[in-house]
Amino acid sequence: MRSLLLLACVACGSSSRPTAAPVLPKPVETPPTIDEVRAVVRDAYTQLGQGYDSVYLEGLTQDARLTIAGVRPEDLLSGYDASRAIEVHRLFGDAEIELVSKELEVHLARDGTAAWIADDLSYRVLSGRRRAFLPLRETALYERREGRWRLLGEALSYPIHDPALAASGLWKLTASTGLGEEGDLVKRRIIAVLTGDDSAVSLEDDALVIGPADERAHGREVGKIATPASFFPARGAIEPTGIRVALARSGTVAWAAATFVFAGAKTTSARASFVLEKRGGEWRIVQTHVGQPVTREALAAELGLTDERRTP
């Protein structure tokens, strides 16, 4: 009898022990696709146009690497700043806007950790009962982290066909520091291309160059306008005034942005942004976007919004 009671107690004790938590499988990341990136980009346009600012901000890289060069002279963002990130896209204050993609081009990094885009945007502004349309060019780099795409760098520009439209004055990016060995290599590539050395510029099929007056070249045609100096042959040598470099977490793709002036004309500013990918052990420039800033007043005049009381 005592043996039976002892066995019963042992059985009761063993049943009261906590069971180990089940080991759940880690979520499997799906392979990145171009369609996935397209959806992210177009969602960002919708969020900005419909005033979902907090949702848009969730899609940004929220650290010191974030760099945005916008349309107006003051639209230069060095590091994450929520209010400035929104202001860069509000060219006319609180006016109602709509961003419509016209020709979105997407490229995936070879290791799938990043993607870069180029797009022709129709920037639509509602002023009173009138809707005005402003053509813009956008380029950007996204990095993929934990299955999500986050904006790392962006450049927006208005195509300038009349040099008089370009804003005067010295406007420059805050130079990035503490880049590390790879970041320094990227920076040297950017300094070289700004000063006319096109040896690091890719001529592969996915290469793209956009110029300040909407010049464009793809693939091998890039060789004809491979450096920013190609667009300003009468202005003299380029002098960089600020260079920012941001490496994607993978270390295989980088975004770089630069502000520069022309020797002998220090009040004439321009901007360039670049996407670089490490190919064959070397950093290659796969995308270049060159533009010049335009003031709000000049943009308003281009849209016919000349009455300042009615200009948003």
State the pLDDT at residue 266. Answer: 59
* Stated pTM of the model: 0.87
15 part of a folded domain: no
> What proportion of the chain, given as a percentage, has pLDDT over 90?
74
Q: Which residues are 216's β-sheet partners? A: 210
Residue 39: CATH number of its domain: 3.10.450.50
Reduced to 3 states, what is the DSSP secondary structure of residue 50? coil
Q: With contact defined as beta carbons under 8 Å apart, do 36 and 52 qualify?
A: no
Residue 9 lies in a domain: no
Q: Is 26 part of any domain?
A: no
Stronger pLDDT, 185 or 30, i.e. the higher one: 185
Q: Could you give the CA distance from residue 76 to residue 266 in angstroms, rounded to a whole number? A: 18
Residues 6+ apart with CB under 8 A from 138: 117, 118, 119, 121, 154, 155, 156
Q: Has residue 39 got a pLDDT over 90?
A: yes
Average of pLDDT values for 275-279? 97
Model pLDDT, residue 129: 73
pLDDT digits (tens, 9 = 90+) for 207-250: 999 999 999 999 999 999 999 999 988 777 889 999 999 999 99
The beta strands (E) that lie in 158-224 are given as 208-210, 216-218
Q: How many domains does the chain have?
A: 1
Question: What is the DSSP pairing of strand 67-69 with strand 148-157?
Answer: parallel
Report the distance separating Cα 56 and Cα 5, nearest Å.
67
Q: Which residues contact 268 (CB under 8 A, 6 or more apart)?
A: 166, 168, 235, 261, 262
Residue given tokens 């063993």 in the structure block: 14
68 within domain boundaries: yes
**Looking at the domain assignment, is residue 242 inside a domain?**
yes
Q: Are 124 and 91 in contact (CB under 8 A)?
A: no
Which residues span the domain enclosing 178?
34-302
